[in-house]
Amino acid sequence: MNRYTTLKQLGDGTYGCVLMGRSNESGELVAIKRMKRKFYSWEECMNLREVKSLKKLNHANVVKLKEVIRENDHLYFVFEYMKENLYQLMKDRRKLFPESVIRNMSFQILQGLSFIHKHGFFHRDMKPENLLCMGPELVKIADFGLAREIRSKPPYTDYVSTRWYRAPEVLLRSSTYSSPIDLWAVGCIMAELYTLRPLFPGNSEVDEIFKICQVLGTVKKADWPEGYQLASAMNFRFPQCVPTHLKTLIPNASNEAITLMKDLLQWDPKSRPTAVQALRYPYFQVGQVLGPRPQSQEVKKVETRMQVQKQMSDSKTDPQQSSSESKASTSSSRNQQQHQPLQPIPLPQSESKGVPTHAGWRRRTDRTQAKESGYSALGKTSGNLLSRAPAVPPVHGRVDWASKYGGNR
């Protein structure tokens, strides 16, 4: 680890903490995840699912694992640095994203997912907190702590993904689910990008199915016989609900966007398009340039800001500064101030009126710090992660969301 200098802590979780660091050789910013558990051999390290998956995946829309370091029986993951996650990008916005921006973000998510599935993995925990961003122009899939190989044999764990993005077959305790659960989550995320609020904010597994039925309507037995078998095995009855058209809930989405979301949110996993098929939908065939743009300028801004802060900190603590340096002329100091790099200006807090933002959805804070860091593969907790969430909002009119929240869904 002597090749890196740690700058500050980004987050802390059950299984490890995440630090911002800088390469001593290149000056490049990185995110370093230090595992709390001790590892006594390389074989033990290489058996981690996250290592198994990430070491095989190299794509512009998948977070890059630069290296794995074992030192004094501690394990460190060195990732490329990303400024924020998609949840952070959405949470304090006062204006809805333009559809062109949503299209580009959705395209990148599906591109990364297509690559992951092509290489034999499915993610199992797709959600805004696990999508790292450099602004809306670049999105990368992260947190492979729950990833599984598609060819691996079931049964699989029934607790996967965070409840609001969990596919119906997982909610009904299927042990043979596969990559379609990732596409269901993309449909949920895409809807959230349009409205800045979750589509299915259930406060329990049963309530989650109820929320899904309120929007999609009760699934017919002929349309998903396997689902009814799963429900019967749990002694569960689907609530009887009339579907609400997605266009009513997401009025700012184009018809092409509604078509894609509707297909991604099919009850039957066999009816959902694959990531490759989703990328061929008319929604993406609009002549818009899609995909990540060069982000060197954004990274340089972050690095410059860190260097300026370090210089300012050093100057405050340097006892050798002469009195002549501190007595600069007024005109000279004004001139220097004009040429200092601009400091980031925090966005204003969400107001109680206007766009219904994430601010109305209060969550428990089991892993708040880890999630806020944007590097959330810090270990998984089982059980319910939600506090009581509001009921599905009325479909007519505008809704105000007033309170702040943070943490897990």
Instruction: Name the token pair of 408.
Output: 């897990």
**Cα–Cα dist 18/10, whole Å:** 5
Measured from the Cβ of residue 24, the count of other Cβ atoms closer than 10 Å reads 11
Q: How many helices (H) and strands (E) does the chain have?
A: 15, 10
DSSP 8-state code for residue 76: E
Residues 144 and 56 sit within 8 Å (Cβ to Cβ): no
How far from the centroid of its chain's Cα atoms is residue 219's Cα?
29
Q: Which of 92, 125, 263, 366 is catalytic?
A: 125
For the chain, the residue count is 409
Instruction: Name the token pair of 407.
Output: 């943490």
Give the residue ranges of the annotated binding site for ATP.
33
Residues 377 and 144 sit within 8 Å (Cβ to Cβ): yes
Q: Identity (one letter) of the amino acid at 32? A: I
Give the residue ranges of the annotated binding site.
33, 130, 143
Measured from the Cβ of residue 402, the count of other Cβ atoms closer than 10 Å reads 10
Give the residue ranges of the annotated binding site for Mg(2+).
130, 143
DSSP 8-state code for residue 292: P
Is 125 considered catalytic here?
Answer: yes
Residue 77 β-bridge partners: 33, 68
Residues 238 and 219 sit within 8 Å (Cβ to Cβ): yes
Q: Which residues are catalytic?
A: 125
